[in-house]
Structure formats: structure tokens, C-alpha cells
């Protein structure tokens, strides 16, 4: 896998998260929760790969990109948002078979996603917002005085903050 490219399209990952949420709760994921889960998954995955690449134990993980997806993450009023997903998401779902295509490497990533998403689903939407508002990467990109709140948060800043 190309280390500079994201592993998934953010929109496909969003559809998969909606699938997982539907499986667990029998309803679609809220737009607010979806955005925060995408953000936390991005940061935690990147930190996990970054740490693994510096460790002798992580040699089999270096094949993975630290970017879960390529799309920009923006600093909006209610926290980090993947604007492309926000504008285009329509509650579609895709299953694990569709997202991971029976690729054993991607199934490994899938276990990571499933475990963390399951934990994040347990938190309320506004608890996730509250946590994201405490993060320096969001605070640095969010400028309250601006009319439009869509400054891009640097992906490496996100990953580095999660890695600390």
C-alpha cells in the first residue's frame, strides 16, 4: 500500500460506520456522531501506525498508510468535520465484505475500526464534541471570529496529538 495515500475513501468509511451503527442500534448514525467518529478513527489509526513504525514490534504494520483516508478534516463549530462526507452522506451503508474486499490486510484494519467505533458509539454526540473541542489541533484551526468555519486541520498535527 502507498504510505501517502489513505486506506479508504472517507465516504466509504462513513457508509461502513453507518452499517456498524445500524447493526448495533437498529438506526442510522447521527451526522454529528459520524463526523466525530471519523475524526477519532483517523487520529487513533495514524498514531497507532506512527508509533508502530518507530518500534521493532511494528514491522508488519509499516505496510499501512498512517492516513485512514485522504479527505480534508475541517475545524467547524461543533468540532472536526470531513466536509465531503457531511455534504454527500445520505445514510447509505456498506458491509465489511464490501469495504474490505476479502483482503486480509484490510481485515486487520477492520478489527481496529470495529473495536474503536464500538467504544465511540457508546459516547453521546455532545460528549464527542466536548472531547474534540479540547484538542489542540482543532483549537489551532478554529477561528471563532470567522464567518465560515472550515479551516483545514493539518493531518499530521492530528496524528501527532493522538500519538502523545
The tens digit of pLDDT for each residue in 12-29 reads 999 999 999 999 999 999
* Predicted confidence (pLDDT) at residue 156 exceeds the cutoff of 80: yes
Distance CA 97, CA 107 (A): 9
Distance CA 124, CA 137 (A): 21
* Predicted confidence (pLDDT) at residue 152 exceeds the cutoff of 70: yes
CB 87 within 8 A of CB 12: no
Over residues 99-138, the pLDDT tens digits come to 998 888 898 899 999 999 999 999 999 999 999 999 999 9
Nearest to 124 by CA among 23, 30, 14: 30
Proportion of the chain above pLDDT 90, given as a percent: 85
pLDDT of residue 4: 60
Nearest to 24 by CA among 36, 35, 16, 32: 16
Distance CA 41, CA 116 (A): 7
Read off the pLDDT band of 60 (50, 70, 90): confident
Question: What's the pTM?
Answer: 0.95
What are the boundaries of each domain within the chain?
10-163
Q: What is the mean pLDDT of residues 140-153?
A: 94
Amino acid at each position: 500500500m502507498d504510505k501517502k495515500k489513505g486506506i479508504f475513501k472517507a465516504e466509504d468509511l462513513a457508509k461502513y460506520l453507518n452499517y456498524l451503527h445500524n447493526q448495533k442500534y437498529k438506526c442510522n448514525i447521527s451526522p454529528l456522531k459520524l463526523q466525530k467518529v471519523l475524526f477519532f478513527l483517523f487520529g487513533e489509526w495514524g498514531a497507532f501506525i506512527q508509533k508502530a513504525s518507530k518500534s521493532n514490534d511494528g514491522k508488519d504494520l509499516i505496510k499501512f498508510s498512517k492516513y485512514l483516508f485522504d479527505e480534508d478534516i475541517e475545524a467547524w463549530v461543533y468540532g472536526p468535520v470531513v466536509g465531503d462526507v457531511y455534504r454527500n452522506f445520505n445514510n447509505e451503508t456498506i458491509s465489511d465484505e464490501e469495504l474490505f474486499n476479502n483482503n486480509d490486510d484490510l481485515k486487520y484494519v477492520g478489527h481496529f475500526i470495529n473495536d474503536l467505533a464500538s467504544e465511540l458509539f457508546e459516547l453521546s454526540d455532545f460528549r464527542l464534541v466536548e472531547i474534540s473541542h479540547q484538542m489542540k489541533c482543532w483549537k489551532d484551526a478554529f477561528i471563532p471570529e470567522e464567518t465560515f468555519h472550515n479551516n483545514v486541520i493539518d493531518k499530521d498535527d492530528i496524528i501527532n496529538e493522538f500519538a502523545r
